[in-house]
């Protein structure tokens, strides 16, 4: 798609980390941006930073079907012309299947990660696609929109303590192709990005020795990934109409060890 200033993008988890970097880059590219997030206080701050005229915040739990549908209706009423949806909302708790005492992981601990990361991603994607499908086609490719989901290298090489997280991200990887095939008839593309170790605020708050240990496994460049690099890949996916049904690793050739 050729980006123009009439287009709207939704970014889940857009108050921080990869989502925030993506929201900033999309605004800079000319999009109206709607941020779906749970943090209303930070959401108001992001709207102020990005411009009230072209930015909307919706407090949304991505697991809640009615809340997601209501938020998209608000986006449609405010901006219309939804063309891009980037799913960055997610959690990454670490918990082993058996504790040191041999007790099994509480099932709720597993289910909540799957619900937020995987079910939440699908919940948002299905509603986004329904709005995109109503818009006129664009360009030579006759496309109507793009959905970008956030996977992880853990979806390929989950580490110790990442059973729930790896399962959720592996599910997002597996989701990309069938979603792309389902939506091909309406001209909506679907891709995923599988980041490696990214320099998000949460990770940068860790002690230097922890950061050094994490990036020691990255072949090149031997550093943490930048949220802005994730955002740049999103923009490339928007502009490259032949990129569809694909998960792209963004990891500096990292292959995660077991721990």
Contact 145, 132 (CB under 8 A): yes
What is the Cα–Cα distance from 168 to 175, expressed in whole angstroms? 11
Q: Which residues pair with 86 in a beta bridge?
A: 11, 148
Q: Is 156 labeled as catalytic in the residue annotation?
A: no
Q: Which of 131, 156, 165, 242 is catalytic?
A: 165
Calpha distance 147→149 (Å, rounded)? 7
Question: Torsions phi, psi of 30, nearest 5?
Answer: 115, -5
> Which two structure tokens, joined as six digits, stand for 104?
């099994």
Rg value, the chain, Cα: 18
As beta bridge partners, residue 58 has: 36
Task: Provide the H-helix boundaries in the chain.
Answer: 17-29, 40-50, 65-78, 107-113, 120-132, 163-183, 201-204, 208-215, 227-239
Residues marked active site are found at: 165
């Amino acid at each position: 798609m050729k980006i123009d200033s009439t287009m709207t993008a939704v970014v889940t988890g857009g108050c921080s980390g990869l989502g925030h970097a993506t929201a900033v880059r999309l605004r800079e590219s000319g999009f109206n941006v709607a941020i779906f997030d749970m943090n209303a206080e930070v959401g108001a701050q992001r709207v102020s930073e990005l411009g009230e005229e072209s930015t909307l915040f919706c407090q949304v739990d991505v697991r809640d079907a009615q809340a997601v549908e209501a938020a998209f209706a608000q986006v449609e009423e405010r901006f219309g012309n939804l063309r891009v949806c980037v799913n960055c909302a997610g959690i990454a708790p670490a918990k082993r299947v058996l504790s040191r005492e041999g007790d099994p992981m509480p099932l709720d601990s597993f289910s909540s990660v799957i619900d937020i990361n995987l079910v939440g991603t699908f919940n948002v994607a299905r509603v986004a696609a329904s709005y995109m499908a109503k818009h006129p086609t664009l360009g030579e490719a006759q496309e109507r929109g793009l959905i970008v989901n956030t996977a992880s290298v853990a979806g390929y090489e989950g580490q110790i303590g990442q059973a729930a997280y790896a399962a959720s991200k592996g599910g997002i990887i597996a989701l990309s192709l069938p979603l792309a095939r389902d939506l091909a008839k309406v001209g909506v593309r679907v891709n995923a990005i599988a980041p490696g170790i990214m320099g998000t605020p949460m990770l940068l708050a860790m002690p230097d020795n922890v950061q050094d240990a994490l990036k020691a496994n990255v072949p090149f460049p031997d550093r943490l990934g930048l949220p802005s690099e994730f955002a740049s890949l999103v923009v490339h996916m928007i502009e490259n109409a032949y990129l569809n049904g694909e998960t792209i690793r963004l990891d500096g050739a990292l292959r995660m060890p077991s721990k």
